[in-house]
Structure 1
Amino acid sequence: MTTAEGWVRYWRDGDRPVEAMHAHFFDHVYPPHSHDTYSFGITVAGAQSFHCRGGTHTSGAGMVMAFNPDEVHDGWAAADTGYLYRIVHLGPSVVSDMISDATEGRSAALPLFTAPVLSDRALTDALSGLHAALTGSPNPLVRDEWLTAAVTAMTRRGASTTASPVRARTPTDRARRQAARRARQLLDDTYLEPLTAEQLAAAAGCSRFALYRAFRAEFGLAPSDYQRQLRLRHARSLLVSGATPADAAAATGFADQAHFSRWFHRVYGITPGTFRYA
């Protein structure tokens, strides 16, 4: 797909949560969002900036943007030439299966990346090889070999199983955190249904204002943004199953197909139609 904003090519595995994208963006701005996968963006040329973990980061040529599952981030061009990048999305189940194979069935923690931008040649080479295999090789053995190489690089060189230190929480902090989690549970259970701020606040056990602040502090998104993200993820699964963009929009609570398509493109960088036929 080519537009005034740039161009994008997308590839999706039909059997497991593995996807790849190659894109050159100039003016496209990603809103705050997250993926339910590990997401690795390899910057080929130009530079991309983004907010993540309370700071602003920039990835230049040769660097890797590493996002853990459900890690909120945005993104925009940090150079006049835009940014050319390759990105791969790996579902946690795929990574877990690969690690289990490597440890001969012994349980092992999933890797956790503690820095959102990495300068790691081994990881960059492995991810670049995986991207090339996913998008260019018809041989499943080649794709699996590069997938193994990428997960190996993730676990050995670019990741840590230890989370960043967390400050001590006061009783008030714990109460706010619990309220945010109660609200998120209601959204997880009913994201396809109409839901008012009053209903969400009642489930959380606090005021609407307090809930908004607590939810953003805990999850990095406003409740409505989180609800829309859940709807978009569900719409992706419907598109993979063969639903039309119009049917996916209607089934996931969007006002109309145009509204759905705008948000899908903003968050994922491609149109629902391009994703459906990837």
Structure 2
Amino acid sequence: MARDWSRYWRSPQRRLEAMHAHFERHVYHRHSHETYSFGVTDDGAQAFTCRGSGHTSTAGMVMAFNPDEPHDGQAADALGFTYRIVHIGPELVTDALTQSAGRPAGLPLFADPVVHDPELAAGLRRLQAALLGGAPALLSDELLDAVVLAMVRRAAVRGPGRRSTGRSPGAAVAGRVAELLRDDYRTDLTADALATAAGSSRFAVYRAFRATYGMAPSDYQRQVRLHAARKLLAAGTSITTVAAETGFADQSHLTRWFVRSYGITPGTYRRASG
């Protein structure tokens, strides 16, 4: 009999969240976060796809996802997996790097989603335990800074700086479509509407979008809606109102996709303020 469980913590002041969970049956639908997401597998093995390839994180391994990077996840076998993950807003990463360097810093890039580094794993465990355990603010800040600096020094393939942006015609088409999906995420847009906005055919839009963003336009639209829902839930808005204001059919529709993408219910997330 499956014994999935999860604990979630969310800062009420800044984009900083932590989760500790064990999943045997839960399967993450392809999703993304607006934050950097650094995790460590405690037990078992988690299989996931990211950046066009399959990966497995086993006990002691660290996972690193860049902001808005699509990925999924599930247990690699019937025994399931236990893991910890911390979601850190890009502005917090920039601040830590800037304070450390004494000059303005940009954002790092992590190219390998799985890293075997016991020191990083230990640091992430300490930070996650402090956040979920209600540690004093000063200790949490120190551990957060230490994790950010260690992750960048030991796992980033490029130091702080701007990511290069695609300049191909396909990337330009995808960018126009993404802008429309972000601006009108509440609207039930059609494929023809996206094609018109992009000045291209429906099929060219679909191919360019998948190549640029790693997911279909419909999946991207749902992610934008989920990101908006998280902000409203964090502000204390009722789940029914959140569903209506973010383009979901109803509360059940929002709940179903929230669980599939994040492993917790909207109610759990709303109550998780630390």
TM-score, structure 2 normalization: 0.94
Alpha-carbon distance, 1:160 to partner: 2.4
> Structure 1 residue 109: deviation in Å?
2.9
Partners of 2:214 and 2:22 lie apart in 1 by 27
List aligned pairs for 1:110-149, cutoff 5 A: 110-149=107-146
Counterpart for residue 39 of structure 1: 37
Match of 1:268, as an amino acid?
A: Y
Are 1:272 and 2:257 counterparts? no
Q: 2:72 is paired with a residue of what secondary structure? A: strand
In 2, Cα distance between equivalents of 1:195 and 1:178: 19
Alpha-carbon distance in 2 for matches of 1:22, 1:138: 16
Tell me, yes or no, if structure 1 residue 81 matches structure 2 residue 79: yes
Q: What is the CA-CA distance between 1:108 and the residue it aligns to?
A: 2.2
Shift of 1:101: 0.9
Report if aligned partners of 1:59, 1:65 keep a CA contact under 8 Å in 2: yes
Which whole-Å CA distance do the structure 2 matches of 1:258 and 1:127 have between them?
34
- Select 2:48's aligned residue among 38, 46, 50: 50
The answer on 1:159 being equivalent to 2:178 is: no
Bigger relative CO (Cα 8 Å, ≥ 6 apart) = 2
Aligned length, in residue pairs:
267
- Residue identity in the other structure for 2:150: A
CA distance in structure 1 between the aligned counterparts of 2:178 and 2:112, rounded to whole angstroms: 26
In 2: Cα distance, 1:137 partner to 1:258 partner:
32
Aligned partner of 2:194 in structure 1 is 200
Give the TM-score taking structure 1 as reference length: 0.92
Match of residue 100 from structure 1:
98
Residues in 1 aligned to 2:48 and 2:39: alpha-carbon distance in whole angstroms: 12
Q: Which residue of 2 aligns with 1:261?
A: 255
Quote the offset at 1:162 in angstroms: 6.1
Check if 1:250 corresponds to 2:244.
yes
Q: Does 1:222 align with 2:216?
A: yes
Identity of aligned residues (%): 57
Give the gaps of 5 or more residues in structure 1: 164-168
2:26 is matched with 28
CA contact (8 A) 1:6 1:26 kept: yes
- Matched residue of 1:21: which SS? strand
Distance 1:175 1:113 in 2: 26
Q: How far is 1:126 from its partner?
A: 1.1
TM superposition shift of 1:32: 1.1
- The residue number in structure 2 matching 1:150 is 147
CA RMSD of aligned residues (A): 1.6
Secondary structure at the aligned position of 1:195 is classed as coil
- How far the C-alpha of 1:157 sits from its partner, in A, is 1.1
Q: Distance in 2 between matches of 1:30 and 1:77?
A: 10
Partner SS, residue 254 of structure 1: coil
